[in-house]
Amino acid sequence: MRSSVQVDELRVGEFLAALGARTPAPASGAAAALTGAFAAALVELAARFANDEAAVTRAKALSSRLTKLAQEDTAAYAAFMESRSEEARNRTIEVPNEIAACADEVELLARKVRAQLTSSVAGDAEAAEELARAAARVARRLAELNA
């Protein structure tokens, strides 16, 4: 039952099709992780306009990690569905918790960058805050449901 879907290698349309398919994964954990990654990319954009290289670097790292977590979440849930082991179940809790922690950091970084902006790009930083907040909330709820 292991998922053969490589989330980080899919085009957007392919990911959406995989997400909507009648399969256990990818599902909301991967969607939350990629939402956080999109938010981080928006922070990167805004940070470039703010000339905040440290924020650019951190946003890129968070986007990359969240993309990897989308794959890890897909694999963790597929492994749990196959084995139903406690170890696999624990992974379905750990990964969403890490997604939430990364998304929280994206939200804080977006807020910091937004405070540096006066241009219309501030809207992108605000969007990043909202997206990151939603990603963290969904990931935390998944961890609760999987516990």
What is the residue-averaged pLDDT of the chain?
A: 94
| pLDDT above 70 (res 3) | no
Between residues 79 and 8, the one the model is more confident about: 79
| pLDDT above 60 (res 67) | yes
What's the pLDDT at 99? 98
Average of per-residue pLDDT across 60-79: 96
Cα Rg for the chain, rounded, in angstroms?
Answer: 16
Residue-wise pLDDT for 14-55, tens only, equals 999 989 999 888 999 999 999 999 999 999 999 999 999 999
Contact 49, 117 (CB under 8 A): yes
Go through the domains of the chain in sequence order and give each one's CATH number.
Answer: 7-146 (1.20.120.680)
What's the pLDDT at 4? 59
What's the pLDDT at 38? 98
Contact 47, 108 (CB under 8 A): no
Percent of the chain with pLDDT over 90: 86
- Cα–Cα distance, 128 to 115 (Å, whole number): 13
Residue-wise pLDDT for 107-136, tens only, equals 999 999 999 998 889 999 999 999 999 999
What's the pLDDT at 119? 82
